[in-house]
Amino acid sequence: MRTALSRLNDQAPAALYMLQRVLKSKTVIGAAGGLLASFVRLIRRTSSLKEDPPGVIQNNMPDHPLIIAMWHGQGLLLPFLRTRDDINVAIMVARHIDGDIVDATVARFGMTTIRGSGSGRSGKNKGGYAALRACMQALRNDTTVALTADIPPGPARKAGLGLVTLAKYSGRAIMPCAVVSSRYFKLNNWSGFTVNLPFSSMVIAGGEQIRVPRHATASELEAARKALEESLNEVTARAYKLSGTTERGGPAGETAREYGAMLRGYTLATRLLQPVAPLLLKYRQRHSKEEAGRTGERLGIPSIPRPEGPLVWFHAASVGETNAILHLIERLMQERPDLHVLLTTGTVTSARLARARLPDQAIHQYVALDTPDFMKRFYDHWRPGIALLTESEIWPNMIREARRRGIPLVQVNGRISPRSYRRWRKRAGIARPLFSSFDLVLAQSNRYAGHFERLGSRNVIAAGNLKMDAPALPVDMQVLAELRKAIAPRPVFLAASTHRGEEEIVAKAHLALKRDIPGLLTIIAPRHPDRGEAIRDLLKTHGLSCARRTDISAPSNAHDIYLADTIGELGLFYALAPVVFIGGSLVPHGGQNPVEAIMHDAAVISGPNIHNFKEAYNALLDANACVEVQNAEELAARALILLQDESTRKTLVSRGRQAVAAMSGALELTLEALAPFLPPRPPKRERRRAS
């Protein structure tokens, strides 16, 4: 019996492979296309047809070739938009098997196809730019191009920038269209694809042409995208109304009944927990996790009045997110001095960093806890003109209150780790309405952009990582000179942003290094400085003499380790140390930002756990611009080489600088993309008065 089962298991993959080959064969695909074409013709023969406005297709023919736009879910009856045999029409379809069947179908209506990408950003066949070039070539060859404004995997009915970009570079007009029937059912897929049925009332509806200037700015492109989206929604609703029916539901997973219950449950639960919030804050304050005298801010009670005029609100969870957007805030305030900026954070350490580095005119507050009433108080007082949430800050009551008030929501420097992405995917009922609430998502990479899109975000741009554009961390030059004088001539090794478990690894590496570098001073800058006392006690168990910066301003020659347990001085220690181990990477945390060290001309060593900065580390490793180690022994061995061989160290630093320069540009892209969403500039007279 067991042998028979084993033989069957061995044969299963081969059988599956053969079945896949049969299904993908030209014969099967051609037959499927023929059946689908016959079904579409049956719908047309048995249905009445109305155009709105009358002659909508013929009236637009003088402007042929056109860019015909429609929603993905309404695409079954698209062949009927070709009303004349002398008009060439090409349809954009994906490269996978669905696209093969569509290609076989539309060929029977005298149409051709342009093959796009695979499956959104994550598809194996990333043909977006090639598809754009193919569409441009078709338009130049007097061929009208038909495309869906929303593309798999969604979200549905959110126009991307692809069509308006094509219109910009081709100079051709976009014609928004919808073809619907009164009898239909919907598939339970991302777009709620409509399967039209025979014996119906059919309607072809069209909107006003949309033209995009050849030299359109980012703001003008965004305005055109919004106009296209609004027009497609309008013509689709109009077509259904004229067909004598209403559209049932919408794209799969977007009805209020389906998703409202989970959000209402969250809102109710957080409202019930509001009375215990003061007790929670007192407990956190006793453990130094809340700042005395400012816990009212966490309840939505502001500690300072709101300034007059338009206000831009940035929210960053902690130190890393705050560091990422400080330069963006500075640039925004330089370019738009008419705006006030409010930055909220959630931790004591990020608040200290904000006080040290925010521009004088900017305001810092602790973010209110995510309950309905606390958030309502916050919004009532600050009345922001736009809300910019940093990296992966997704708070339901915060987002819902912004949407209720019509405040534009933008995700800046957005990232969703694979682990968080999987969690959100399991909670689609709450994820989709939240992620679809953002007017704009500026993601750190294509990978993160794809995560946002599949969770429901619509206007997503892979703008790059703002941390790549941040200037070098600030350094007090007088303090630097004093420390160098106190430490000289000792060589220095820095372990930066270490997490629990890494200090012991660094201690072992230090003991190994001391055998070859007797005077070595190792500086440990923990990611969470409040762990300073516990780290000192740990180091003592290894026989190491440790001085804390919170106790003394500089170490003596008797100290092995200098514990940098302060806030806002990491740049100082990067400037001191020629070789740096970046923490969070020898424990399963995901790593910390390596660019900050490179900007201070330090050679970077990292562990293997670097998924939080995967793109940055991949670029550095590909350029041989940093060193990866697995344990304390490798850390000591590689640090020894870099500390003793100046030529090797300088080469590593130079490569790092070049790699970082190649990754830069996110700041300018972010500012350009934000411009259409910011409060309008005041009239010139008021601007002069303000200055």
Active-site positions read 321
User: Could you give the CA distance from residue 459 to residue 421 in angstroms, rounded to a whole number?
Assistant: 18
The secondary structure element, H or E, covering residue 455 is helix 446-455
- CA–CA distance, 635 with 625 (Å, rounded to integer): 16
Separation in Å, CA 275 to CA 281, 296, 371: 11, 14, 11
Characterise 501 by phi-psi region: left (phi > 0), alpha (psi -120 to 50), beta (else).
left
Angle, alpha carbons 345-277-295 (nearest 5°): 45
Q: How many CA atoms lie within 13 A of 409 on its CB side?
A: 22
Which pair of structure tokens corresponds to residue 132?
A: 């754009």
The two tokens of residue 463 are: 């703008």
Locate 290 and state its tokens: 């809340």
Q: 33, 58 in Cβ contact below 8 A?
A: no
Q: Where are the alpha helices (DSSP H) in 256-308?
A: 256-273, 277-286, 295-298
- Provide the pairing of β-strand 363-366 with 88-93: unpaired
Interatomic CA distance for residues 613 and 444, integer angstroms: 10
CA distances from 506 to 21, 65, 539, 609, 653 (A): 55, 66, 10, 16, 22
Helix axes 428-435, 446-455, angle to 10 degrees: 110
Residue 112: strand pairing partners:
90
